[in-house]
Amino acid sequence: MAAAVELEGVNVTFGDFVAVKDADLTIEPGEFFSFLGPSGCGKTTLLRTISGFIEPTRGRVRIGGEDMKGIGPNKRPTALIFQNLALFPMMTVAENIGYGLRVRGVPRHERDEKVKTLLIQVALTEHGHKRVSELSGGQKQRVAIARALAVEPSVLLLDEPLSALDLKLRQHMRTELRAIQKRVGITFIYITHDQGEALTMSDRIAVMNAGVIEQVGDGRAVYAEPRTPFVASFVGENNAIRGRVTEVADGLATLDTPVGVLRGRNPVGLSAGQEALLFVRPESMQLRANGSTIGFQGETLDVAYEGSVTHVTLRLRTGQKVTASFSASAGIPLPISGENLRIGFRPEDGLLLARPERH
Amino acid sequence: MSGGLAFVFGLPLVVALGFFALAAYERRTGVATGPGFFQRNGLVIGLYLVIAVGFWAFFIILLPQLAMVEMSFRPKLPPSQMGGPKDVYTLENYRYFLFGSTTSTAEWNWLHIKAFLLTIGVSIAITALNFAICYPLAFHMAQSSTAARLRVLLLLLILPYWVNEILRAFAFRVLLSSGGIINQMLMGLGVTSEPVDFLGADVGLYMGLSYAYLLMMIFPLYNAIESLDKNQIEAARDLGAPWWHIHAFIVMPHSKPGIASGCTLVFMLCAGALAAPLVLGGPRTLWFTPIVYDRFYQAFNWPQGAAYAFILLITCIVFVLLVLKAFRLSLGEITR
């Protein structure tokens, strides 16, 4: 039932514009896979390529091992849930869900049976006869899911379907989507610019930027072990400090920066003399750091108390701003605005990545 | 005569007074709330609107029609006898349409009845033909054309209508006549040895009528299809629908108001067209509007002409309302 989706060197160009560049990856059968990236990064184009609305300019899309070249969206084993859901307003909820079956010539009684089962599955039993316009946002969402599942696709494609919902409902739908995916067991490919959605729901995430897939991995890997500066700064909050590598030893590297000599892990194998960026998560920063850590001095600009965490923004000597988040329950007195503060981090919490030329 | 005057001027007055009374009643009982019409628009603009709309509705729409209706129920009399004892309301003009005589009902007036039915039937056919021509074009313009191409298409559609209808009709005639370019070409190519009698077969009439009202069909269709969310078409495709299914069950239901509005316009205008049937109609084809025209200007029988015109009008309106009902559309929806 579930099928693998393989992208082999997929390129999509519109005129001179490269929307997707050399996408190469395999999505396993039954996986919940997310493409995460800012708007315009090519993730929707890639989704439309998988669903068949766009033919790749170069490269190959395979679904369930079969080459999809020349096969239209109506013939692929995929179903797409649109960002605005695209439910049919002139049909009832039941007719919407049964549309794909009607197109396939499934006899009426069989169709009704199936629609009834799906209505139960998405908890809309009472609403089958209603017009789509009579439903709430969350209910419409579930109709769209049921309509897509009705045709028993091997791969379900979701194009930011939760973006129109309010926060509470969105969080609820995340759990629900995940549960549906577990139950039906088919491959889900999810598009989002919301890292929270991607991290909570996905088995694996592909982070995209400017048409390029920068990193593929599970949520932890993408968050804790980013491989490119873009991934490090796009997924979660991060502080970035520029510098030049001076010394490399034991997986760590020393960096000469305008705010002092700092150290961090060196997973990509930078060598001495290279330009680099040092990333330190706000939650890895320690306030009033003592001798065992490295760090820097700055003036406290802003203290934002949020209950469980407090965010402190510091301005360094160079004018650069750095954020530190710490748990307020630790019993440390809160810094005050204007206070001169020293913050530090352990070298293993710092991460060095090569600085891209365009920075 | 005085009864007629009372009818023509009195009826609109009574209707208008009725509405004023209703408005006053609603305001008193609290059904209508909020600032009144003059409070919202100011006295000057309010008065202008009332007078302008009132004048337009009364003198330009209602009065001529009511005058014709009134006239259609009167006998044809020399001026000296008008207002005399013979000037009474009668059904003789309508009787003439059905039986070809103002007094006898022995024989049906087949000549006129056939022309009438032909007009209605051919108008329906032309409306259908027009829809078939315009729907693909309107769909392309609304859903898949680029902005630049759309502008060119619109220009190409509108420009030919700068040429007036009579000139266009005669041009068709020249084109399709026995010695016309098309016949010369066909004979030159050896497709036929004898010229084809396009005009006699009414090809010219159908062409002229279809072409004349193309825009009336395209624009309502375009407007309706344009408002359809592209994602719905893609969603249907993604769910496995073949193209014809998408048109029949997604695009057309959505654009039903536009289809209805285009079809009613084309049908009404076709049934009432005069120039194209006069110029392009074949010798064996008797269209209804030339008959009406003849009642006025050949027979000099204005009451009879009025009755004929009124029969055509009522039939068209009833037909259109029935079709709207069949498609479960209200009159209000076709203006959307």
| DSSP codes of every residue in A96-116 | HHHHHHHHTT--HHHHHHHHH
Task: State the nearest Cα–Cα gap between A76 and chain B, in angstroms.
Answer: 8
Chain center to CA of B201: 24
pLDDT value of residue A280: 92
Hey, which residues does A13 pair with through a beta bridge?
A18
pLDDT value of residue B336: 59
State whether A72 and B241 contact (CB < 8 Å): no
Tell me the chain A residues in contact with residue B236 when contact means C-beta distances shorter than 8 Å. 88, 99, 103
Q: Sheet of A5-14: strands edge to edge?
A: A17-27, A5-14, A58-63, A66-67
**Cβ proximity of A255 and A352 under 8 Å:** yes
CB under 8 Å, gap of 24 or more: what pairs does B86-94 form?
B87/B1, B89/B3, B93/B303, B93/B304, B93/B306, B93/B307, B93/B308, B94/B307, B94/B311
Report d(CA B183, CA A194) in Å as an integer: 69
The partner residue sitting opposite A103, judged by closest CB among B231, B241, B254, is B241
The C-alpha angle B31, B37, B43, rounded to 5 degrees, equals 155
Tell me the chain B residues in contact with residue A88 when contact means C-beta distances shorter than 8 Å. 232, 235-236, 250
CA distances from A58 to A9, A13, A63, A75 (A): 7, 9, 17, 21
Q: Which of A68-82, A328-342, B101-115, B256-270 has the lowest mean pLDDT?
A: A328-342
Please give the structure tokens belonging to residue A31.
């996986």
Residue range B276-305: average pLDDT?
85
Nearest CA in chain A to B255: A90
The C-alpha angle A100, A106, A112, rounded to 5 degrees, equals 80
Task: State the nearest Cα–Cα gap between B249 and chain A, in angstroms.
Answer: 9
Is B250's Cβ below 8 Å from some Cβ in A? yes
Instruction: Provide the phi-psi class of B300: left if phi over 0, else alpha when psi is between -120 and 50, else beta.
Output: left
Q: Which of A88-102, A246-260, B237-251 has the lowest mean pLDDT?
A: A246-260
User: How does residue B177 score in pLDDT terms, banded at 50, 70 and 90?
Assistant: confident
* Boundaries of every domain in chain B: 2-72, 74-108, 110-334
Is B146's Cβ below 8 Å from some Cβ in A? no
Which residue type, as a one-letter code, is found at position B5? L
State whether B231 and A72 contact (CB < 8 Å): no
Is B254's Cβ below 8 Å from some Cβ in A? yes
Query: Regarding beta strands A340-345 and A286-287, do their DSSP bridges make them parallel or antiparallel, or are they unpaired?
Result: antiparallel
Q: Locate tokens 């013939």: which residue?
A: A75
The yes-or-no verdict on residue B47 having pLDDT over 70 is yes
Fold of B110-334: MetI-like fold (1.10.3720)
Report d(CA B313, CA B327) in Å as an integer: 21
The yes-or-no verdict on residue B243 having pLDDT over 80 is yes
Report d(CA B98, CA B114) in Å as an integer: 11
| DSSP state, residue B335 | G
Residue range A205-209: average pLDDT?
94
State whether A100 and B240 contact (CB < 8 Å): yes
Phi, psi at residue B132, to the nearest 5°?
-65, -35
Task: State the nearest Cα–Cα gap between A293 and chain B, in angstroms.
Answer: 55
Cβ–Cβ contacts within 10 Å for residue B127, how many?
25
Q: What is the pLDDT of residues B120-130, one digit of tens each?
A: 999 999 999 99
Residue range A118-144: average pLDDT?
90
**Cβ proximity of A190 and A35 under 8 Å:** yes
pLDDT value of residue B217: 93
Q: What is the pLDDT of residues A24-57, one digit of tens each?
A: 999 999 999 999 999 889 999 999 999 999 999 9
Query: Regarding beta strands A187-192 and A32-36, do their DSSP bridges make them parallel or antiparallel, or are they unpaired?
Result: parallel
Nearest CA in chain A to B245: A103
The yes-or-no verdict on residue A332 having pLDDT over 80 is no
pLDDT value of residue A292: 60
User: Which of A136-140, B218-222, B273-277, B321-325 has the highest mean predicted lDDT (pLDDT)?
Assistant: B218-222
Hey, which residues does A206 pair with through a beta bridge?
A35, A216
Phi, psi at residue A23, to the nearest 5°?
-75, 125
User: How does residue B334 score in pLDDT terms, banded at 50, 70 and 90?
Assistant: low
Query: Regarding beta strands A78-81 and A275-280, do their DSSP bridges make them parallel or antiparallel, or are they unpaired?
Result: unpaired
Residue range B192-208: average pLDDT?
83
Residue range B187-209: average pLDDT?
84
Report d(CA B221, CA B334) in Å as an integer: 11
Report d(CA B36, CA B50) in Å as an integer: 13
Tell me the chain A residues in contact with residue B250 when contact means C-beta distances shorter than 8 Å. 88
Cβ contacts below 8 Å, chain A against chain B, sum to 59
Is B326 strand, coil or helix? helix
User: How does residue A329 score in pLDDT terms, banded at 50, 70 and 90?
Assistant: low
Q: What is the pLDDT of residues B17-40, one digit of tens each?
A: 888 888 888 878 877 777 777 788
The C-alpha angle A171, A174, A179, rounded to 5 degrees, equals 135
State whether B232 and A151 contact (CB < 8 Å): no
**Cβ proximity of A306 and A282 under 8 Å:** no
The yes-or-no verdict on residue B266 having pLDDT over 90 is yes
The yes-or-no verdict on residue B312 having pLDDT over 50 is yes
Task: State the nearest Cα–Cα gap between A102 and chain B, in angstroms.
Answer: 9
Quick one: what percent of chain B has pLDDT higher than 70?
A: 98
State whether B238 and A74 contact (CB < 8 Å): yes
Task: State the nearest Cα–Cα gap between B243 and chain A, in angstroms.
Answer: 10
User: How does residue A207 score in pLDDT terms, banded at 50, 70 and 90?
Assistant: very high
Q: Sheet of A78-81: strands edge to edge?
A: A78-81, A155-159, A187-192, A32-36, A204-209, A212-217
Is A59 strand, coil or helix? strand
- Dihedral angle computed from the Cα positions of residues B314, B320, B324 and B329, in that order, rounded to the nearest 10 degrees: -80
Please give the structure tokens belonging to residue B190.
């050896």
ipTM value > 0.95: no
CA distances from A67 to A44, A147, B241, B332 (A): 20, 26, 21, 51
Report d(CA A71, CA B253) in Å as an integer: 28
How far separated are the first and last CA of chain A, in Å rounded?
46
Tell me the chain A residues in contact with residue B254 when contact means C-beta distances shorter than 8 Å. 89-90
Report d(CA B245, CA A104) in Å as an integer: 11
The yes-or-no verdict on residue B117 having pLDDT over 70 is yes
Among B283, B271, B308, B234, which residue's Cα sits nearest to residue B124?
B271
Report d(CA A34, CA A160) in Å as an integer: 10
Among A110, A99, A141, which residue's Cα sits nearest to residue A124?
A141
Q: Locate tokens 């020393």: which residue?
A: A254
Q: What is the pLDDT of residues A281-305, one digit of tens each?
A: 998 888 765 666 688 888 888 888 8
Please give the structure tokens belonging to residue B306.
């009025």
Is A24 strand, coil or helix? strand
**Which of A82, A91, A145, A158 is the best residue to mutate to test the B interface, defined by the most B CB atoms within 10 Å of its own CB?**
A82
User: How does residue A359 score in pLDDT terms, banded at 50, 70 and 90?
Assistant: very low
User: Crossing angle, helix B2-29 and helix B63-72, to 10 degrees?
Assistant: 130
* Average pLDDT, rounded, for chain B: 86
**Cβ proximity of B276 and B205 under 8 Å:** yes
* Average pLDDT, rounded, for chain A: 89
The yes-or-no verdict on residue B7 having pLDDT over 60 is yes
How far separated are the first and last CA of chain B, in Å rounded?
42
User: Crossing angle, helix B302-326 and helix B63-72, to 10 degrees?
Assistant: 120
pLDDT value of residue A259: 85
Cβ–Cβ contacts within 10 Å for residue B276, how many?
26
Q: Express the helix, strand and coil content of chain B in percent, nearest 5 each.
A: 75, 0, 25
User: Crossing angle, helix A137-150 and helix A167-184, to 10 degrees?
Assistant: 20
User: Which of A166-170, B129-133, B184-188 has the highest mean predicted lDDT (pLDDT)?
Assistant: B129-133
pLDDT value of residue A3: 84
Residue range B234-245: average pLDDT?
92
User: Crossing angle, helix B92-99 and helix B110-139, to 10 degrees?
Assistant: 90
Residue range B114-136: average pLDDT?
93
The yes-or-no verdict on residue A189 having pLDDT over 80 is yes
The yes-or-no verdict on residue B221 having pLDDT over 90 is yes
Instruction: Provide the phi-psi class of B68: left if phi over 0, else alpha when psi is between -120 and 50, else beta.
Output: alpha
Report d(CA A174, CA B214) in Å as an integer: 51
